[in-house]
Amino acid sequence: MNCMNRFTNPHTHNLKRRLWNFLLWKAGYYHDEKSLPKVPDQFHYPFSPLLLQEKEPKVMWIGHSTFLVEYSGVGILTDPIWSEYCSPIPFFGPRRLIPTPISIDELPQIDFVLISHNHYDHLDRKTVIALIRRFPTIQWVIPIGVKKWFKKIGIENTYELSWWKEISLQNEKNHLTITATPTQHFSGRGLFDGNTSLWNGYVVKMDGKTLYFAGDTGYNPHDFKEIGKKWGGFDLSLIPIGTYSPKEFMQPVHIGPEEAVLIHKEVQSKFSIGMHWKTFHLSDEPLQLPPYHLYLAMQKAHLPHKDFIPLDPGLYINW
C-alpha cells in the first residue's frame, strides 16, 4: 500500500490522473454522452419518507459527501464542507450549486468528524475552523498523513487511521468504535504531495447500530465484499452515486449508480443513501441524472428502490 513514501491502490495501478489524461478529458477524448440515459420529464425517485421519529437514529444530507448523523446522544459529520467553492483558490474553481440547508451555527452538538481524504471537496479549511470554534471538543478521525494539516491550524484532537485499524472513542453519552476501510482513490492538495496521505472509508459501530461511510472511491471486486463479510451488513451506508462521466476517465477513482448498487449489495447494506452528486459539478453527467440512473440500476438488480435512495438536502430521515 505504501511505495517510496507514496500510498497506492492494491487493485489498480492506472488511475488516469496525469495531466495528459486531464487534457484528453477536456478535449473530449473520453466523451461518453451518448451512452448516458436521458432523465424523463417529471421523474421523481419512488421513495416517500416516513414521519420522522425524533428520538430514533436520524440522518440528514447536507450536500456532496457531507452528512449529519445522530444516534443516541452522538453527533457525527462526514467530510464537512460549507464553503461556496471547493478549491485551493478562494472565489475560484467548482462552485456550490445548492445552498447548505443548515448553517454551522444551527448544527446540534457534533462529537466526531470523519474525514475520508484531503481533496478540497472533502477537507475544507474554512469549514474545519468554523466547526472547531463552535465545537472545541470535536474528535477528528482522519487518514494516515493528514494529521500535520490539522496541526498547522492548531487542532490536536485527531486520530490517524490506516486501513482496517480500529479506534474506540466516546462522548459524554455513548461509546463507539470506528474502523478505517479501504477505498480506491488518491490524495493530494498541491503539485508535489500526491498520494502522500491515505484515503479511507469508515465503519462506525455504536450501541447496536452500524454505519458505513464509503468515502470517495472507484469500484473493485475485492474490498467491498471483504467489508461486507467482516461486518455482516450495515444499518446505514453512505455511498457515492455521482461524478462518473466520462466513464473511461472517472471509473478508476469514482463510481456511478451501477457500481454503487454493487457496493450496496456487497457490503450487505440494509439501507443506503447516495452522495457525491448535485452539489459541485465535477464531471460531465447532467446534475440531475444520478437519481434516475440509480433508479435504473436498482430496477436492473431487482432491488426495492426504498433500500437505496437519493435524499434531498436538509431532509431528516430515520435509519
What mean pLDDT do residues 101-106 have? 98
pLDDT in tens, 119-142: 999 999 999 999 999 999 999 999
Tally of CB atoms within 10 A around 194 = 15
Residue 4 confidence (pLDDT): 60
- Say if residue 246 is preceded by a cis peptide, omega within 30 of 0: yes
The pLDDT > 90 percentage for the chain reads 92
Can you point out the beta strands (E) in 135-241? 139-143, 158-161, 166-170, 175-182, 200-206, 209-213, 236-240
Checking if the pLDDT of 213 tops 70, the result is yes
pLDDT in tens, 159-209: 999 999 999 999 888 999 999 999 999 999 999 999 999 999 999 999 889
Question: CATH code at 114?
Answer: 3.60.15.10
In a domain, 10, yes or no: no
Q: How many domains does the chain contain in total?
A: 1
In a domain, 30, yes or no: no
What mean pLDDT do residues 28-49 have? 90
In a domain, 5, yes or no: no
In a domain, 8, yes or no: no
What backbone phi and psi angles, to 5 degrees, belong to 225? -65, -40
pLDDT in tens, 222-274: 999 999 999 999 999 999 999 999 999 999 999 999 999 999 999 999 999 99
Residue 286 confidence (pLDDT): 95
Residue identified by cell 448523523 is 69
Residues near 116 by beta carbon (within 8 Å), at least 6 away in sequence: 65, 78, 79, 122, 143, 183, 199, 200, 201, 202, 213, 215, 216
Residues near 90 by beta carbon (within 8 Å), at least 6 away in sequence: none
pLDDT bracket for residue 2 (50, 70, 90): low
What mean pLDDT do residues 288-294 have? 97
Instruction: Work out the angle between the directed axes of helices 257-266 and 289-300 (0-180°, nearest 10).
Output: 50
In a domain, 117, yes or no: yes
Checking if the pLDDT of 1 tops 80, the result is no
pLDDT bracket for residue 34 (50, 70, 90): confident
* Secondary structure (3-state) at 264: helix
Using left for φ > 0, alpha for ψ between -120 and 50, and beta otherwise, residue 65 falls in alpha
For the chain, the average pLDDT equals 96
* Least confident among 22-36, 237-251, 275-289: 22-36
Residue 35 confidence (pLDDT): 82
Residue identified by cell 491550524 is 153
In a domain, 37, yes or no: no
Residue 177 confidence (pLDDT): 98
Q: Residue 195 is part of which domain span?
A: 55-318
**Is 287 buried (19+), middle (13-18) or exposed (0-12) by CB count in 10 A?**
middle
- How many whole angstroms separate alpha carbon 205 and alpha carbon 201? 14
H, E, C per residue of 8-35 = CCCCCCCCCCCHHHHHHHHCCCCCCHHH
The partner residues of 308 in beta bridges, in order of sequence, read 272
